[in-house]
Amino acid sequence: MLAEKIKSKCSKAFQNKWLVSFIVLAVISAVVLLFAISNLHGRIKTEAQILAPKAETASAPISSGVTYEQSFASRGTFNRIQLFFAPSGSPNTGATTVELYTASGNSITRWEIENSTITEDPVLLELDGGAQEKGDYRLTVSSDSPDPGTSAGIFLQQGSIYEGELRIDGEVQESDISIGLYQQTNLGYFLLTGILLLSLICLWVSFILLFIYKTALWKTAIVLLMGFGMAYLFIFPSGTVNDTWRHYITVYDYSNDLLGIPKDDSGTVMMRKSDLDTYVRYRALPNRNPCIDQYFEEFDEFSWQCADKTLVASGETSLVTRGNNASSMVAYFPQIVGLTVGRLLSLGAIPCIFLARFIQLVCVALMIGFAVKLTPVGKEVLLLLSLTPIFMQQITALSYDGVAFGFAFLLIALCVKFRFEKTAVSTESYIAFLFSTMGLAACRGGMYIVLLALLFIIPNAVLSLWKKLFAGLIGIFTTLAFYGNVYFNVSSSAGNETALNLGSPFEHPVQVGMAVVSSLIENVDTYVGGMFGQQMGWSSSTIPFTLTFAFLLLIMIVSLSVDGTPPTFSAKDKAVLFLPILFTVGICFFMMYVGENWKATVWNIWGVQGRYFIPVLPLAFLMLRNRFIVLKKDIRKIVIYLFCNLEVLAFFSLLRVYLIR
Amino acid sequence: MIKATILICEVLCFVLALMIAIRLLKPQRKSVSCLVLCISAFALLSHQTMQVVPLLHDEISLTALDQKNEESKGAEVDLNHIRVDNRLITAFNIKEGSWYSVSGRYSWRPAEDTRWDGSASDSITLRVPVGWERTIHFHSNPWRGYVQISDPNHHKEILDTYSEEAGIVTYAIGKSDQWKLLLNGALQILIYTLSLSLLTFMFIFVTHHSKEGGE
């Protein structure tokens, strides 16, 4: 009976070609994943360098009666010590003893190394009893060989980078023993496997939603953004980007405001002691790119509960205090909520940061979902643009860009919706429009308020002139309310600015305009790469240009209409769609010309990045929609699925760089 | 008391604006929450405006005396920030005179210091917003010297901004005159009310106008 039931269900299921395709695909991708992981197993980075050795000069041979004693501080947990021994010319005899002690003098591990086995290759010594915590330690090196001629020496390096000193028979030396500290675990392997598995699950889910359940695109958008976003939360450690920590301090500052904690006397942000420790140590990492060391740092620093909640002055000022920035509370709102909730729950620093990033991801995913739902044209464009690696990186990082992207997409969707409405918009829709306008105007110095030029494509019969005027006024009012003091303040530094390279843009518009044009020509590849994720913002993580190009191509395909079906934009509409793009380019270059003038040359205005144009990017693709070049068949879902596949390839590409030797 | 009054007035204005909007627009039950959200956003925006619009202020003069104590290696003066009722001010409103912007601080350097163009005046007059707890914070280190502060009551005091290690030297300006505080509070309420009324009535107007068939 049961067997018959299963048989009938299976036969029904197999009549569905999409389901069969899914099963085949799932099996193939699972096999590929297993194959990839089993092949990569030996090549995945398994160690993080806690202290870098720099072997410079060999010491005198260490014979019996001489003891080298090196104190040092580890800035992370470690379970391996690397030393460089120096064999003498004649055959080595006897043994060299290395012993590691805690600062209080308890022996941790003792190693005996036969001198005859010593070569110039580094020696990696494994600690007994697992990893040791960060802290102060002492290492002694001695020998039982009485003859210096047959004893081995050890390599030294200049300068006490270990916050310790070397003593030979009690006498302080100028050099230190060259010590490398390592943490060796399977973290890299677990990260790679976990992220790739998650990405494959996202891929399978996308297939199920698009082809089997045929879920509404806006719901699919939320699921995909959340799924891939979760992967990006782990692909990029919290402190990846250069200015992440400035944003962290700023979010912390706003969170303090909510909790009623004032700044200290010198205007710096008060922080919990444990959070400050994490901040200081994490920020001191020399490498700002995602790498196994950063993952280890995060892993090392991770604790569910905050160990020390005492408030201390951080010595850091936030962007709010600096007063010349584009960082309002609105732009950081999801992150402020996350961090504050985390602090109220007494979570540790890393869980708090993760919570802040996660809540931002949820908020932006919902905003994009609604944007996809609202727009009658270009739903797939909005979805695919929000799935590009740079967009995902920005909405999962500590940054003020994510919320601005969300509001911009929402505003564009509403304007396009109103453009093709036949009747007057409802009060609810208008209020939603006002909210998007206010939100966008409150982010990034209000620079994306130029999107309000889209009001011109909306017929007056749908949105009255008064309503348009009021929306415009609200946008300007919000920008001034949040940034008026920045734009109009009587600045104390006004008289001391360095002269601009080409003079004031108002006095020399042609020269400055030419510099803008030459910058565009010179950096077009950088801008395109930055817009679609080849270059991940400030971090120097990159994905291959072929992938970026494929993303661009796929978004272009979905921006076309299917067999010329309406609605399409008129020529006048397209001219209006182009205006915000033009304004945004102008504003970006103007701001960078004035703000980063010291780095600009006559031919190149420095500092403009491709991601600045993301909020107006949907408009460029909407302009592509025409009646002449059209899709003969509706292949947009297949294109979305293909895009998700490329996204997984981008994961492979990123993780290959970060985790594989 | 003044702060509490401002807060109560803000809440009252918000409730009044909401009642007027509901009365004039007569929204359906499902739209009421949208309207409440909208007026709340206007109220927050008006509150934000109240923070940004410059109101009454007192004037304070700072004079770099080009003098130092025996241990100091220089006579420099660096203004770090001003704090008014826990609000930090780093972009200073200068009425007269000018110093240099150095590492985010506003600094005076002696005319003979060749690293600078010698254009800094000895005295500057700052406009400081009125408030209850107001302090002026100078950066201190081994190169700092004396500065004379003339507060709004024309009381003059000389402050040594030298310290062995980098830090902050704080000078309390004190509370503004009561009448100024009262007037400032009244102005704040006025700005909030004007802003909220403007936004609310314009919203009512455009919505109502559309309903009447203005399209």
ipTM of this model?
0.82
Which range is least confidently modeled, A286-295, A586-595, B178-187? A286-295
Is residue A21 assigned to a domain? yes
pLDDT digits (tens, 9 = 90+) for A24-33: 777 887 887 7
Which range is least confidently modeled, A112-126, A492-506, A508-522, A573-587? A492-506
Q: For chain B, which residues score pLDDT lower than 50?
A: 213-215
Is residue A495 assigned to a domain? no
A154 and A237 share a domain?
no
The CATH number covering residue B131 comes to 2.60.60
A17 and A165 share a domain?
no
Please give the interface size between A and B, counted as residue pairs whose CB atoms are below 8 Å apart: 108
- Contact yes or no for A477 and B104 at CB 8 A: no
The rounded Cα A193 to chain-centroid distance in angstroms is 20
Q: Which residue of A has its CA nearest to B32?
A: A428
B150 and B73 share a domain?
yes
A227 and A241 share a domain?
no
- Contact yes or no for A434 and B137 at CB 8 A: no
Which range is least confidently modeled, A72-76, A300-304, A469-473? A300-304
CA within 13 Å, CB half, A308? 10
Which residue did the predictor score with more confidence, A265 or A12? A265
B81 and B16 share a domain?
no
B13 and B98 share a domain?
no
Contacts of B168 in chain A (CB under 8 A): 265-266
A195 and A319 share a domain?
no
Mutate to test the interface with B, among A316, A443, A492, A493 (most CBs of B within 10 A): A492
B23 and B93 share a domain?
no
Is residue A498 assigned to a domain? no
pLDDT of residue A317: 77
- Contact yes or no for B214 and A466 at CB 8 A: yes
pLDDT band per the 50, 70, 90 thresholds, residue A644: very high
Is residue A433 assigned to a domain? yes
pLDDT of residue A489: 58
A468 and A345 share a domain?
yes
Tell me the range of A318-322, A457-461, B3-7, B115-119 where mean pLDDT is highest. Answer: A457-461
Write the DSSP string, A455-498: GGGS-TTTS-HHHHHHHHHHHHHHHHHHHHHHHH---TTGGGPP
A83 and A225 share a domain?
no
- What is the span of the domain harbouring residue A40? 2-44+187-232
Contacts of A477 in chain B (CB under 8 A): 45, 49, 199
Q: Would you say A600 and A501 are in contact if contact means Cβ atoms under 8 Å apart?
A: yes
- Contact yes or no for A427 and B94 at CB 8 A: no
B126 and B199 share a domain?
no
pLDDT of residue A1: 65
A291 and A357 share a domain?
yes
B191 and B164 share a domain?
no
Q: Tell me how many domains chain B contains.
A: 2
What's the average model confidence in pLDDT over A570-581? Answer: 92
A622 and A651 share a domain?
yes
Q: Is the pLDDT of residue A498 over 50?
A: no
B107 and B142 share a domain?
yes
pLDDT digits (tens, 9 = 90+) for A33-52: 777 777 766 677 677 777 77
| Helix-then-strand count for chain B, H and E | 3, 11
pLDDT band per the 50, 70, 90 thresholds, residue A493: very low
- Contact yes or no for B31 and A427 at CB 8 A: yes
- Find the angle CA(B131)-CA(A443)-CA(A385) to the nearest 5 degrees: 170
List the strands of the sheet with A180-184, edge to edge: A47-51, A180-184, A80-83, A123-126
Q: Is the pLDDT of residue A202 over 60?
A: yes
pLDDT of residue A652: 81
A144 and A203 share a domain?
no
Q: Which amino acid is at B187?
A: L
What's the average model confidence in pLDDT over A3-11? Answer: 68
Q: Quick check: A474 contacting B, CB < 8 Å? A: yes
pLDDT band per the 50, 70, 90 thresholds, residue A600: low
The CATH number covering residue A137 comes to 2.60.120
pLDDT of residue A537: 59
B45 and B68 share a domain?
no
Which residue did the predictor score with more confidence, A155 or A496? A155
- Contact yes or no for B90 and A427 at CB 8 A: no
Measured from the Cβ of residue A661, the count of other Cβ atoms closer than 10 Å reads 10
pLDDT digits (tens, 9 = 90+) for B103-161: 778 888 887 777 777 778 888 998 888 888 888 999 998 989 999 999 887 788 898 98
CA within 13 Å, CB half, A520? 12
A310 and A363 share a domain?
yes
A462 and A582 share a domain?
yes
The secondary structure of A104-145, three-state, reads: CCCEEEEEEEEHHHCCCCCEEEECCCCCECCEEEEEEEEECC
A14 and A65 share a domain?
no
pLDDT of residue A511: 77
Q: DSSP 3-state assignment of B118?
A: coil
Is residue A321 assigned to a domain? yes
pLDDT of residue A495: 39
pLDDT of residue A471: 93
Q: Tell me how many domains chain A contains.
A: 3
Measured from the Cβ of residue A378, the count of other Cβ atoms closer than 10 Å reads 26
- Contact yes or no for B90 and A267 at CB 8 A: yes
d(CA B90, CA B147): 19
Residue matched to tokens 């518009």: A509
B62 and B164 share a domain?
yes
B70 and B101 share a domain?
yes
What's the average model confidence in pLDDT over A152-165? Answer: 79
List the structure tokens of A540: 């120097």
Q: Is the pLDDT of residue A340 over 90?
A: yes
User: Which of A144, A167, A184 finishes a domain?
Assistant: A184
Element (H, E) at B18: helix B2-25
CA proximity to A77, closest of A108, A54, A106? A108
pLDDT digits (tens, 9 = 90+) for A352-407: 999 999 999 999 999 999 999 999 999 999 999 999 988 998 899 888 889 999 99
Which residue did the predictor score with more confidence, A600 or A85? A85
B31 and B130 share a domain?
no
Q: DSSP 3-state assignment of B164?
A: coil
What's the average model confidence in pLDDT over A434-439? Answer: 94
Q: Is the pLDDT of residue A273 over 50?
A: yes
B95 and B135 share a domain?
yes
- What is the span of the domain harbouring residue B82? 57-172
Contacts of A321 in chain B (CB under 8 A): 81, 88, 90
